[in-house]
Structure 1
């Protein structure tokens, strides 16, 4: 059975048993008046407890129109940067807007350097290249945004830039009245106000995402036009692809299929899956419920097989073409701007179906508080964790595990297989790599290796996700701690060869990164999530050892 809903340049194709389930949910959504209520920004859609926050978080519905004013607001800083020959745009920040800007630039072929990390190796490499042509966009108020703004400011000064010449190389995009706005004015940076009623997860068409994309050369009016065409259908009951996708996601969760395998099949929309991952996981993963997105390298990647509780979503140009797309639970096709609005709307609808507040982040602050506590330690970062004896040492790799989680594991392969065996039925393994996303990109290859090993070891597939630290804290971190109690975690940290001091702070980037890793590890373990830390005493050699152990 197949159902196709198309409007506004988007096509959503639903196949198989999920058609009947999603149509039942869709009929209920229509009878409840959800399309009209959501388009009218009814904050009560998610219940009375969620209404006060929702009332301040629904501005994303109007962004296809309101964001058109950004061009005029950005004209001054853009002209100043252009006249100064600053054609290398570096975006620092964290969360949804950063991922949206990255997806927009990758899809359009525009050059944008993204730093949403505290890894000193990755940051140092960006600082060492093209500093004389660099213009920095600071998005939001995260610890990454503030820290990297400070690091770039000191680096500009050390290169010989002083006063206004250095200060005007920054454009801060943040809410009015925020600490980041005050810092921008005090330092003499350009400042552009972001929307007060849009949070980061739903801000793909807002200022924090579109400003850096526009500076990098993306025609953001094309994105807004694409979204606006879809917006015309959002009040409709049945010819509404966003509502259909939301019903499919919500019905899958209600049916116990709470893993959302996402694979690209020729969409040309680079980075969309990663952005959708943070949106769906952060919006739905709370109160012991949630949908866990599992982005894969492609339709041929290990883990694509549809088994048990897994639901597949294909991102493609032609959802009806032969091959794996025809077997998928859901196929989605359409341009990037419309996809941003589609997934935001669908996720908000799915959250209503699941009975969760899509805008609350009840568990995100726990890791931040744990990190802050470690940084306040008189002895530095987490001495009790740093100096604990590892359960296993193999070459450049040290393995740390609580209790008897890895009891009996004598080799690195044994340890990894024991961890895979600890994944419960209907559970998942999350790999969290606090490493250099650019220089150590090969770490991501551990995901398919672990998925393939898991399939051989357990005679069935189990979802394996991969996230860079600390990026994942702002993407899937809410789900990891607030979602279903069925996750197992493999955290990877690495030795720092050359550290980077943070001006105005009593710690370096390496110390901050380690505190973020330990802070999150503490929270995971405190919530009875099985978590193992692997530390690479030599990053290159250690990654090679891990790959060899899984080969």
Structure 2
């Protein structure tokens, strides 16, 4: 078909595939304008109450301008303390947008969104602590990972003789939360976010802007980019978000890769936005983040392939015509945030899904709390193969266990999810499983680090299409770390999160195995070699 392009406010979406009737339906029902006007009834009566208090993101960047001066002042005050490094304790919507901004602008901001004790300990060296301020971000103020991370930093500061601990913390939270009370009690700076904005839509609120501004980002530019896009699409026939939303809703799976956009990691942020917004009611669009434009798994009859940056004609920089995308999204980061948020809300309308709730996210959290209180299950491995214990299935070795999963993954409409409760820096090699498994199955393959994926694709796993096949990977703990003031360690918390999620998936009779690495390095090498030997 002839190429179609929608462009406005610096953003262009270009495609050569059929977007179906979605564009016409969105326009004929006047959905773009109704969303911008805050019409809470667009997603059905059951969604009305939630939507009524979750549409602030459509123009919240206007009030975010008020953050610029106080953040500039605070940044200068922190510099006087010798601080040139920001650690961000947050999960999901509180961490993914700041990570995109920081990676894109090469800022000295470290996102701490893990419960792996090795990864936490690596952040707590005396040399780094003396240069670090910690931003603690949580809407509710009760997120167990964020609270535990905060406690670890507080104990570590005191452990190296830093007395002005309160000056080392900055809090971002909703008004009236537990974190606001804590910040006020100890005299730490606190920035209150817009309570009418859900976490995954909060990129241009205090959650996205406070940590990045303190790390050196020019947030005024991000805000201006969003304002320009908003002004360009309000009441305008040309709206890239309309075409993008129709394309997201058109197929079961959306694969996303960066193709020279200059924006680092937007796919990871969009993954949470789309999966948590649309993966419910037994349906939805599954996002799959690709490592590069020619990565395995980009194409398939069940999916659309999108690049951020690049073009839809000609070969990609890899030289592969097979990796030519179905559509591209181009534009500056601030405008892209708003465009993808609008598009996801539009896709929810087309799919008749409430894009603002997350009914299944709390299930694994509740399981984790119970396991921490009652104790972890005393399970025994089905088999042991080298440095890997196998839990679940009937296989006696790793190759056979993987073979069983691939059979299930080749069922109609199936997808394979790899979930690694490991150190995403020290154990980074395990992420190669996504490409290796993609080459050996026709199904979409996702990869997520635990527990961060629980706040992202975890909703889709339990509430989306019931066709997932799950490979969970856990690892032995070398050095554990006590969570100050709690009766558990980070290692126990990580194990409880993995076990709690396993219970949620197995309770739905999803195909599931857990591979436990008794030696992480050897186990990862063994696992990758086993996958590469599969036909």
TM-score range with shorter-chain normalisation?
Answer: over 0.9
Find the residue that maps to 1:299 and give its secondary structure: coil
Deviation at 1:418, TM superposition (A): 1.2
CA displacement, residues 294-340 of structure 1 (integer Å, 9 cap, x when unaligned): 11111211112x22211111111445554459842221111111110
When normalised by structure 2's length, the TM-score is: 0.95
- Which whole-Å CA distance do the structure 1 matches of 2:303 and 2:241 have between them? 21
- Which whole-Å CA distance do the structure 2 matches of 1:417 and 1:301 have between them? 22
- Which whole-Å CA distance do the structure 1 matches of 2:261 and 2:365 have between them? 36
Aligned to 2:287: 293
Aligned to 1:451: 438
Find the residue that maps to 1:233 and give its secondary structure: helix
Q: How many residues align?
A: 522
CA displacement, residues 490-537 of structure 1 (integer Å, 9 cap, x when unaligned): 011111110110011100000001101100110111122221111011
Deviation at 1:249, TM superposition (A): 1.6
Relative to 1, partners in 2 of residues 1:171 and 1:325: Cα closer, same or farther, differing over 3 Å?
A: farther
- Which whole-Å CA distance do the structure 2 matches of 1:38 and 1:14 have between them? 24
Aligned to 2:4: 3
Find the residue that maps to 2:509 and give its secondary structure: coil
Aligned to 2:259: 265
Relative to 1, partners in 2 of residues 1:289 and 1:362: Cα closer, same or farther, differing over 3 Å?
A: same
Find the residue that maps to 2:60 and give its secondary structure: helix
- Which whole-Å CA distance do the structure 2 matches of 1:298 and 1:338 have between them? 22
Aligned to 2:515: 534
Deviation at 1:174, TM superposition (A): 0.4
- Which whole-Å CA distance do the structure 1 matches of 2:396 and 2:10 have between them? 55
CA displacement, residues 406-436 of structure 1 (integer Å, 9 cap, x when unaligned): 33x3321111111111122111000000000
Instruction: Trace 1:104-123 onto structure 2 (pairs within 5 A).
Output: 104-123=101-120
Is residue 232 of structure 2 the alignment partner of residue 241 of structure 1?
A: no
Aligned to 1:393: 384
Find the residue that maps to 1:91 and give its secondary structure: strand
Aligned to 1:131: 129
Is residue 305 of structure 2 the alignment partner of residue 312 of structure 1?
A: yes
- The structure 1 residue matched to 2:498, chosen from 517, 521, 527, is 517
**Does the 8 Å CA contact 1:234/1:243 hold for their aligned counterparts?**
no
Find the residue that maps to 1:46 and give its secondary structure: coil
- Which whole-Å CA distance do the structure 2 matches of 1:320 and 1:203 have between them? 34
Deviation at 1:108, TM superposition (A): 1.0
- Which whole-Å CA distance do the structure 2 matches of 1:453 and 1:247 have between them? 30
Deviation at 1:187, TM superposition (A): 2.9
**Does the 8 Å CA contact 1:35/1:237 hold for their aligned counterparts?**
no
Instruction: Trace 1:284-363 onto structure 2 (pairs within 5 A).
Output: 284-304=278-298, 306-320=299-313, 322-323=315-316, 324=321, 327-363=324-360
Aligned to 1:229: 228
**Does the 8 Å CA contact 1:45/1:352 hold for their aligned counterparts?**
yes
- Which whole-Å CA distance do the structure 1 matches of 2:22 and 2:253 have between them? 18
Aligned to 1:457: none
Quick check: 77-86 or 322-331, which moved more?
322-331
- Which whole-Å CA distance do the structure 2 matches of 1:432 and 1:290 have between them? 20
- Which whole-Å CA distance do the structure 2 matches of 1:319 and 1:333 have between them? 11
Deviation at 1:234, TM superposition (A): 2.7
- Which whole-Å CA distance do the structure 2 matches of 1:131 and 1:488 have between them? 41
Find the residue that maps to 1:466 and give its secondary structure: strand
Find the residue that maps to 1:533 and give its secondary structure: strand
- Which whole-Å CA distance do the structure 2 matches of 1:188 and 1:530 have between them? 50
Find the residue that maps to 1:103 and give its secondary structure: helix
**Does the 8 Å CA contact 2:462/2:505 hold for their aligned counterparts?**
yes
**Does the 8 Å CA contact 2:245/2:346 hold for their aligned counterparts?**
yes
**Does the 8 Å CA contact 2:481/2:489 hold for their aligned counterparts?**
yes
**Does the 8 Å CA contact 2:304/2:326 hold for their aligned counterparts?**
yes
Aligned to 2:100: 103
Deviation at 1:144, TM superposition (A): 1.5
Aligned to 2:168: 169
- Which whole-Å CA distance do the structure 1 matches of 2:482 and 2:185 have between them? 22
**Unmatched 5+ residue regions in structure 1?**
455-460
Aligned to 1:280: 274
Deviation at 1:396, TM superposition (A): 0.9
- Which whole-Å CA distance do the structure 1 matches of 2:325 and 2:77 have between them? 49
- Which whole-Å CA distance do the structure 2 matches of 1:25 and 1:269 have between them? 28
Aligned to 2:86: 89
Deviation at 1:64, TM superposition (A): 2.7
Aligned to 1:489: 470
Is residue 37 of structure 2 the alignment partner of residue 40 of structure 1?
A: yes
Find the residue that maps to 2:233 and give its secondary structure: coil
Find the residue that maps to 2:123 and give its secondary structure: helix
Find the residue that maps to 1:422 and give its secondary structure: helix
- The structure 2 residue matched to 1:429, chosen from 412, 416, 421, is 416
- Which whole-Å CA distance do the structure 2 matches of 1:76 and 1:179 have between them? 25
RMSD across aligned positions (CA): 1.4
- Which whole-Å CA distance do the structure 1 matches of 2:12 and 2:95 have between them? 26
**Does the 8 Å CA contact 1:137/1:170 hold for their aligned counterparts?**
yes
- Which whole-Å CA distance do the structure 2 matches of 1:133 and 1:444 have between them? 30
Deviation at 1:166, TM superposition (A): 1.0
Deviation at 1:78, TM superposition (A): 2.1
